[in-house]
């Protein structure tokens, strides 16, 4: 036999032996004769190798391991370096490391692998945990410049040790390929891809890779050692405090955004891969499935599902690797936040395939359904992260981090909760019959969805009659207007009340219904009247459109934030006035008014809480004495006569907001706004830089379409438009509002 044939047989023997060990590790009972018959050219050599292993196993005693003993048969132990005090414990070329058996609760945090038994299984051929292998190399032992002190854990491909790097006298974690010298080329490539991905990143919340290489046939890299716990262990103890959960995920999102900015998509974010150190800081680890944008390593193929089923995105479950982007990690972050808040992941089937089908087809459950009393803002943030369509999620991890920052600081979030109609739509797609019509394969419908399908089939024979009745009833309901239209205005003789009266007059003329305007304390009261169905239409400031039960009919006009101070005040800007240190007397308006809500929001944004100023919660008459007021917030349309009177007759003057642009970027309720000098003065002067919010006409989300159409006709089309309001051509350019369906149709038609 020539050398080439000999080398070929040796390669075949190595390959067959590796396959035999892998199947044994997975718990499969093999018939050796049948197994060897699959390799006729090397069958005799393979059986001899197995017999040699049996002999060594008998010599090792009852605790011997075929896998570890055969590493000695197939690979000679390298000669240890001279003078090595641990030379008898030097690592062999191949070993099968097992989890060290320790008292419960004493195990250090695993770096880069998940050693706990979980119902979610990585799709990377993770083997079943077996008994401790006492023939594994004894620790401590030397490994190059490292002293391996303790086995932290093992996964499907890797094994991780706590080690001391002798030259630098520091504790690190050392990760190696579990199969050692028998590692396949694919395993080696994936292992180094993980090391390269992590090594690109230098961030305080990402586990840092120090060194990478190969020693005695073992591929390894060293990295940060993080003692503490991880999010998976916290979840095992049950749901955690919502603010703590939001903070953890916010910090992870910031770290992941750092990775994204450097072209690295993690693709395996899950609670076990988020470590928590002793100072309660997060550290992201395990970049084994990471994708480097713009590079094709050949390790992932289209149609191959990568990740952990309960935390992978729909595009991962579908194997669409070309669609893996920042939004893929955003989905996983949402699943982690869900698990922290509820105590379990959003999808968890009895099998891997079932879980993946739920991820692909079933709408994510609401956090509020599973945890009573959960904040609606967090529920909305999770729902947006877990949207099936990547384009409907937060488009970057930075966007998610900023949203969680808004939640943690008590500011309004930007995401809007799903309407009841949207929720029903996603639920209906889980009915097998409807799902099939829509192109979805539903494998695990809920009992309610199964019952709904039975009713659908039962009523199919009556479908023509049912459709006729439904169509007729729908048209009839749509045409119904309240016998008396109630409009919530504002303070008597105020701007809202005046516009409400003009709207009522036009509705009575065209809709032929009695319309009444009610005086109220302002936007917050108006919002409550809509929710409780005590009014049909209401004028609201933008900050009061906060319920999914309220929809916008039309934007009306901008309301500028006028900051008024006595004429003898030395202050030129809000920042200068607040920085004076004295406790200020600030007029905010009535407690339920939109004026007060906008003022309190602006003061909070500037870092001024209620303990640092004296709030004047009275009506306009309180402004008649400038000597009793240090600052007045007047949120009203620029040029309004009331502001003019305060300047000309009461001795007030306007000051600016220097950071108006920055505040508008952070707080979507406001926008930067300049009050031109000629608005209130006849002399030339620079404009006053400030902020503005928006006044809306609003209704209930379930309001009749005809009521909304009549209101829009009264605003824009019914004769002379109401003075000083935004034109419909300008209003139609507004986007991102929670419009009533009839209003959306109206403005969409204007675009055609």
Collect all residues with Cβ–Cβ distance below 8 Å to 454 and sequence separation of at least 6: none
534 part of the active site? no
Encoded tokens for 234: 């916290």
- Give the Cα separation of 481 and 706 in Å (integer): 7
- Give the Cα separation of 262 and 252 in Å (integer): 16
DSSP strand E in 536-587: where? Answer: 537-541, 550-566, 584-587
- DSSP element (H, E) containing 642: helix 641-648
Encoded tokens for 74: 């197939």
Collect all residues with Cβ–Cβ distance below 8 Å to 254 and sequence separation of at least 6: 205, 397, 398, 401
- DSSP element (H, E) containing 450: helix 447-459
Q: Residue 305: how many CA atoms within 13 Å on its side-chain side?
A: 21
Q: Phi-psi category of 61—alpha, beta or left, where left has phi over 0 and alpha has psi -120 to 50? A: left
Opening angle at CA 402, ends 400 and 404, nearest 5: 70
Residue 217's nearest CA partner among 182, 191, 190 is 182
Which residue among 268, 444, 536, 630 is the active-site one?
268
φ and ψ of 15, to 5 deg: -65, -45
Collect all residues with Cβ–Cβ distance below 8 Å to 410 and sequence separation of at least 6: 604
Angle between helices 376-385 and 397-408 (to 10 degrees): 180
- State whether residue 614 is helix, strand or coil: strand
Collect all residues with Cβ–Cβ distance below 8 Å to 107 and sequence separation of at least 6: 100, 115, 152, 153
Query: In this structure, what DSSP letter does residue 686 have?
Result: P
Encoded tokens for 357: 């089908």
Q: Residue 351: how many CA atoms within 13 Å on its side-chain side?
A: 5
CB neighbourhood size of 448 (10 A): 11
Pairing of strands 584-587, 613-616: parallel
Q: What share of the chain is helix, strand, coil (3-state, %, to 5)?
A: 45, 15, 40
φ and ψ of 434, to 5 deg: -70, -35
The residues carrying an active-site annotation are: 268
């Amino acid at each position: 036999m020539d050398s080439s044939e000999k080398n070929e047989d040796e390669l075949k023997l190595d390959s067959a032996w590796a396959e035999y060990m892998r199947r044994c590790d997975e718990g499969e009972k093999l018939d050796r004769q049948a197994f060897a018959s699959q390799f006729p050219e090397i069958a005799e050599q393979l059986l001899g190798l197995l017999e040699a292993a049996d002999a060594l196993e008998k010599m090792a005693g009852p605790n011997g391991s075929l896998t570890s003993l055969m590493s000695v048969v197939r690979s000679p132990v390298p000669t240890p370096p001279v003078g090595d005090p641990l030379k008898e414990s030097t690592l062999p070329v191949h070993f099968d490391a097992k989890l060290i058996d320790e008292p419960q609760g004493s195990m250090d945090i695993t770096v880069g692998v998940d050693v706990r038994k979980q119902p979610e299984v990585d799709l990377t051929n993770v083997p079943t945990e077996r008994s401790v292998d006492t023939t594994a190399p004894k620790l401590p032992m030397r490994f190059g410049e490292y002293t391996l002190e303790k086995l932290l854990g093992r996964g499907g491909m890797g094994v991780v040790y706590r080690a001391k790097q002798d030259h630098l006298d520091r504790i690190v974690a050392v990760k190696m390929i579990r199969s050692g010298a028998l590692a396949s080329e694919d395993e080696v490539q994936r292992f180094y891809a993980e090391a390269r991905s992590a090594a690109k990143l230098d961030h305080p919340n990402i586990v840092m890779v120090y060194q990478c290489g190969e020693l005695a046939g073992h591929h390894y890299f060293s990295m940060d050692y993080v003692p503490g716990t991880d999010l998976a262990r916290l979840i095992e103890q049950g749901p955690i405090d919502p603010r703590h959960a939001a903070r953890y995920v916010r910090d992870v999102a910031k770290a992941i955004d750092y990775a994204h900015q450097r072209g690295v998509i993690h693709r395996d974010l899950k609670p076990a891969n988020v470590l928590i150190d002793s100072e309660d800081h997060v550290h992201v680890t395990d970049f084994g499935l990471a994708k480097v944008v713009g590079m094709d390593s050949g390790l992932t193929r289209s149609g191959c599902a990568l990740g952990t089923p309960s935390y992978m995105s729909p595009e991962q479950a579908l194997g669409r690797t070309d669609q893996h982007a920042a939004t893929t990690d955003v989905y996983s972050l949402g699943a982690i936040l869900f698990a922290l808040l509820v105590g379990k992941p959003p999808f968890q089937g009895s099998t891997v395939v079932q879980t993946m089908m739920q991820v692909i087809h079933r709408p994510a459950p609401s956090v509020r359904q599973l945890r009573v009393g959960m904040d609606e803002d967090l529920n909305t943030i999770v729902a947006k992260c877990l949207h099936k369509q990547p384009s409907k999620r937060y488009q970057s991890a930075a966007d998610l981090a900023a949203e969680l920052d808004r939640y943690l600081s008590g500011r309004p979030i930007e995401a809007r909760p799903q309407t009841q109609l949207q929720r029903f739509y996603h639920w209906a797609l889980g009915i097998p019959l409807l799902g099939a019509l829509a192109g979805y394969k539903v494998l695990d419908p809920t009992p309610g969805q199964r019952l709904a399908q039975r009713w659908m089939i039962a009523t199919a024979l009556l479908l023509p009659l049912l459709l006729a009745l439904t169509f007729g009833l729908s048209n009839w309901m749509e045409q119904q207007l309240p016998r008396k239209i109630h409009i919530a205005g504002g303070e008597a003789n105020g701007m809202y009340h005046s516009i409400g009266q003009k709207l009522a007059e036009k509705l009575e003329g065209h809709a032929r219904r009695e319309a009444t305007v009610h005086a109220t304390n302002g936007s917050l009261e108006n919002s409550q009247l809509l929710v409780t169905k005590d009014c049909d239409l209401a004028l609201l400031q933008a900050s009061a459109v906060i319920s999914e039960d309220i929809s916008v009919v039309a934007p009306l006009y901008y309301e500028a934030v006028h900051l008024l101070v006595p004429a003898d005040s030395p202050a030129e800007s809000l920042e200068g006035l607040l920085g004076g240190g004295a406790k200020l007397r600030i007029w905010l308006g009535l407690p339920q008014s939109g004026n007060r809500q906008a003022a309190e929001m602006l003061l909070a944004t500037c870092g001024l809480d209620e303990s640092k100023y004296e709030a004047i919660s009275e009506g306009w008459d309180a402004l008649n004495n400038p000597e009793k007021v240090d600052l007045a917030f007047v949120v009203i349309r620029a040029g309004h006569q009331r502001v003019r009177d305060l300047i000309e007759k009461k001795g007030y003057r306007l000051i600016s907001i220097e950071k108006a642009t920055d505040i508008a970027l952070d707080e979507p309720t406001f926008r930067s706004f300049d009050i031109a000098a000629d608005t209130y003065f006849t002399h030339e002067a620079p404009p006053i830089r400030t902020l503005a919010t928006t006044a809306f006409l609003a209704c209930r989300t379930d309001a009749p379409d005809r009521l909304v159409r009549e209101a829009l006709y009264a605003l824009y089309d019914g004769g002379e438009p109401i003075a000083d309001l935004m034109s419909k051509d300008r209003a139609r350019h507004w986007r991102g509002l929670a419009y009533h369906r009839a209003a959306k149709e109206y403005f969409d038609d204007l675009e055609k």
